[in-house]
Structure formats: structure tokens, C-alpha cells
Copies of this chain bind each other. A is one copy, B any other.
């Protein structure tokens, strides 16, 4: 309903919408009554923008649900993240620019370390450098298994993507990663007839890989998980009539952007400053920009409260560069919360502000969890953010007469 409604009613305009996603933005205070990471940060530009904006808190998937970045992004991009479930493998493959076909099956691979009996010692082989991984991936590429094509792509450090292509493959496949050390990697099993056959082919591949990697160190084995096909997702151009661009450093975010039909822009470097430069450079080429910032989540997940505070302050310093471009609508939010206190993603609603000339600005001069709770957008499903942004951009025609 949602998409067909907007598909029929979004209209062209020369307005520009910018969605700034600070990954894992939401946080928690270190003690009851204390301040969260966002509330602790000195961020005059974000606070000023908040005073001109409507504030709220987004619920990415549903109450009590902790989400990964993939579904969290799909939700704030305006898609039902349950309906369009994406496997990790598919996202990983998208993230490295692999031209994933509708029938391909993708999985995430890790190089790992096993002992002489095949027992896992390190699930990530000491996070070996990407250059070493590349060399091992070249070895894996020599493997042939009759019945399917195998594509292997380097991701980063110990991570790679495996893509299986062939006719009649099944995608109901279990992981080989036991998610703990001290046990052996598992065989892949199939959940239906086609998948059982496919599982057999993959297990052949794994046995050959084990032989080929046996004398390598520290990575002498591999783990596969998250086998999946791409969901079919209607693109931004179709449902929102937006010519959209994504600015991101990390693969997953490029992947999910490409999935919804955004152009993924080249960022010449890997800093936030480089991302904002890319935004400036392409300002005239698109009418929607998604800009992703990873550091807030990285610090949250590693329990680095002060680091997350500093990451937000670093972000704040770049914001004037966007405002100088005079955007019509600015969304500042996150794909989920990652409180440093929990050292993980969490279920907590995520601070949001929507700036435009036409919002009912709340006049609350602070961007933070407590401030956003008092905002006029209330506690809203992340999926509702894009319709509100489109409306503020003058891009939604009236319903009925």
C-alpha cells in the first residue's frame, strides 16, 4: 500500500533532500540520570539545526527489536524491513560492487584459524590484513565445483564474499560458522530438495578450500554464513521519483543504497571530510543524497563512550558545509542505536530531526535522546521519515479532492 500510494503521488521538483545517517546514533547514559553520548557531545551546529527542526525518535523495526544495519537502513529509506529481508551475504556482495544477479546466492566468508583437528581457534584469523586475504582469495578462485559457478570477492581484512551462480540452486542454506571457538566449523545443510543439492556442492567447495589453505598461516580455513538471494526492492526512482545518490565508505552501506537504486558515488578518501567533499562536488547532479557515517557505531559497539562523543563532535564540524549548499530538507538520524554502555546495537528508539522551511519547528535547541522525546514527530516508525521528508520537499501531490 505504502509504496503504491507514494508511487502514484510523488511529483518532480527542483528541491533537494539530504539524509545524514550517523550509524548507531542512539545511546544510553552511563548511569541513571546521566547524559547519553549525543547529549554529552559539544555540537553547536547540530543543536542549532535542531532548533530549526521538528524532532522525534525513530523505531527502526518494531518495539524491542534490535536491528542490524541492513534492515535499519531499509527502514529509514522507507521500506518495510520485514517484507524486504536481506541476507548478510547479499549485502556483502553488493557492498563490494559485485554485479549480483537475481538468481545468485551470496554468502559472507571469513578466513579463520583451525588446529590440526579442524577445531576453531580464531574465527577471524587475527583479522588478517586485506592484502593477505587477497592472496588467499586468489587461491580459492582456482577451485572448481561442477554444477555451479563460484565467484569470490575480497571485502576487508578477514572478510570475503562468495557468490554462487547456476540453475536450480536452492538458498535455504545453514551457516558453517558456529559463532564460537573450540568446535569445528559445521557442514552446510539444505532446507529443501534444491538446497540440499546446493549444500552438497558448497561442502565440496569447502573441502577443497580446506586442502588449499591447510599450509597457510594464520588463516588456514574459512567460514560461510548468511546465504541468501537479493530481495526484489522497488527503486527510489520508481516509488519516490527521486534521482538519488549515496555517499558511504563501507561496503554494506553502498550495498543497501544500490539495492534501492541509488547511485553510489566515489569518495576520494575515507574520512568524513571526504564524504562531505563528495556531496559538494555532486550537489547539482542529484535531488536526494544519503550520507553515511560509520564511526558513531564503531565506537558504540566497542564500548568507547568518549570516542562516540568525539565522533559526533567531528561530525558537527562538517555540518556547516552542507548548510552552505542551502538544502531544502535535511534529515539527521540513525539506522539504530548502539549505546557504548551495551557495546552492541540496541532496540532503543533513535534521535531524529527533520529540517526544512516548512516543518513545524519545535524550537528545542538541542539534538539528543531526551530532547527528541519532546519533539513534535513523536516516536515514529523509521519508515515514516521519507514520506515526511518528501512532503517537506514539496514532492507529494494531494490525495483526493
Q: Taking beta carbons and an 8 Å cutoff, which residues of A are in contact with B?
A: 1-2, 5, 9, 28-29, 32-33, 36, 52, 57, 61-72, 81-82, 85-88, 91, 108, 226, 252, 341-342, 344-349, 358, 360-363, 369-370, 373-374, 376-380, 384, 386-392, 396-401
User: Among B63, B87, B376, which residue has its beta carbon within 8 angstroms of that of A57?
Assistant: B376
B390 near A64: Cβ-Cβ < 8 Å? yes
Contacting residue for A67 out of B29, B226, B362, B398, CB 8 A: B398
Question: In the assembly, what is the distance between CA of A344 and CA of B88, in Å?
Answer: 45
Q: In whole Å, how far is A359's beta carbon from the nearest beta carbon of chain B?
A: 8
Residues of chain B contacted by A376 (CB below 8 angstroms): 57, 349, 369-370, 373, 379
Nearest CB on B from A161, distance (A): 12
Known contacts A28-B360, A88-B401; decide if A64 and B1 are in contact (CB<8 Å).
no
| Chain B contacts for A66, CB-based, 8 A | 391, 396-399
How many identical chains are in the complex?
Answer: 2
Contact across chains for A396 and B64 when beta carbons are under 8 A apart: yes
Please give, as numbers and ranges, the residues of chain B lying within 8 Å of A85 by CB-CB distance: 400
CB distance from A322 to the nearest CB of B (A): 18
Partner of A361, one of B32, B64, B65, B397: B32
Q: A64-B389, A71-B399 are in contact. List 6 more A-B contacts (CB 8 A).
A: A2-B62, A66-B396, A68-B398, A69-B401, A71-B400, A369-B376
